[in-house]
Amino acid sequence: MSRLIKPAAYQALLDVRQTEQGIKLIKDFFEQNLSTELRLHRVTAPLFVLKGLGINDDLNGVERPVTFPIKDLDDACAEVVHSLAKWKRLSLAEYQIEPGYGIYTDMNAIRADEELDNIHSLYVDQWDWEAVISRADRTVAFLKDVVRRIYCAILRTEYLVSETYPQIRPFLPKKIHFIHSEELLKKYPGMTAKEREDAVCKEYGAVFLMGIGGNLSNGEPHDGRAPDYDDWSTPTEDGFEGLNGDILIWYPVLDRSLELSSMGIRVDKESLLRQLKLAGKEERKSLYFHQQLLGDHLPLSIGGGIGQSRLCMMLLQKAHIGEIQASIWPEQMREECRQLGMPLI
């Protein structure tokens, strides 16, 4: 497979049974740390939502959700979620969560249009979280503080894994570096967006890349982001500052950068209207979610998703996400991975 990265002399550090035990260890420990750091309580989440309410995550706006008719609702169409970015904010209002507190849940999704490789699967599992904030918290400084808290939870989990399995040696840096996507473009002007991510992660080890979704000085966004959940940027005297971003690390097993989390301060009424106009999606204003936000029925919030299989893959130093989760893979990829010593579940 042309998209398959084939690390030279790869050898799994844990056997299948140890891997399953390690996955359980990581998920239990990190989930508890995330909950404690951000003061979140667990809630139950849907696997699917009704089409046409504006609740499903639109990702880059081109991915097709898996759909099916509901017999008892006159064949109304349901969509398997892409993520719970908007549903969580509705839930904050429903649960009447106070500022400074939030919720988290296990999000399971199917992304049928995903291009399959070492880190992308049809099946997506992540911790989706959302917390209520005040108007004064809608700042870059507040966003950075939350990112550092999440990164500290990742570091603690890495230490636990290395203590439990001494053959796995920690490699993450002690601090995460912050950089705006515009600054990154100026730093590496001749590179593609993905090449810029690889370069900055190789330099710093762990990076929070801010300001994703809006156009940069080259007329292009660093990456796609739906216009109606993250606040891409906020006007300042010097231009724009990003209020969202991705946690990226340099992953030596695959010799590339690896995204662990996408997150950000969510849109308020003003930024929602601005971003819908920029994206040419102003018709969404009539949808249920958007009406709730524009009608002041939803709290200000910050939130994101943290890949469960991705985090386990990284901390257990696996070369393919299929060594962590059960999914569907092309037979050619399965055979190549078997020959390379990374059998897929």
The helix or strand, by DSSP H or E, that contains position 124, with its residue range, turns out to be strand 123-132
Handedness of CA 303, 307, 312, 315 (dihedral sign): negative
Nearest C-alpha neighbor of 148 from the set 175, 172, 171: 175
Answer yes or no: 111 catalytic.
Answer: yes
Catalytic residue (choose from 91, 121, 233, 262) = 262
- Would residue 126 show up in a list of annotated catalytic residues for this protein? yes
* Given 31, 35, 57, 257, the catalytic residue: 57
User: In the structure encoding, which two tokens stand for residue 121, read together?
Assistant: 């699967």
Q: Is 75 a catalytic residue?
A: no
208 CB-contact burial (10 Å; exposed 0-12 / middle 13-18 / buried 19+): buried
Cα–Cα dist 215/280, whole Å: 13
For the question of residue 162 being annotated catalytic, the response is no
Q: How many CA atoms lie within 13 A of 22 on its CB side?
A: 32
Active-site choice (246, 261, 266, 292): 246
Active-site residue identified among 126, 257, 292, 301 = 126
Considering 183, 259, 334, 336, which one is annotated as catalytic? 259
Annotated active-site residue 57? The verdict is yes
H-type alpha helices, 168-287:
181-187, 193-204, 269-279
Annotated catalytic residue 259: yes
Query: What's the chain's Rg over C-alpha atoms?
Result: 20
Question: What is the residue type of 89?
Answer: R
Catalytic-labelled residue, pool 89, 111, 138, 310: 111
Name the burial class of residue 40, with classes exposed (0-12), middle (13-18) and buried (19+) by CB atoms within 10 angstroms of its CB. buried
Question: DSSP 3-state assignment of 199?
Answer: helix
Give the residue numbers marked as catalytic: 57, 111, 126, 246, 259, 262
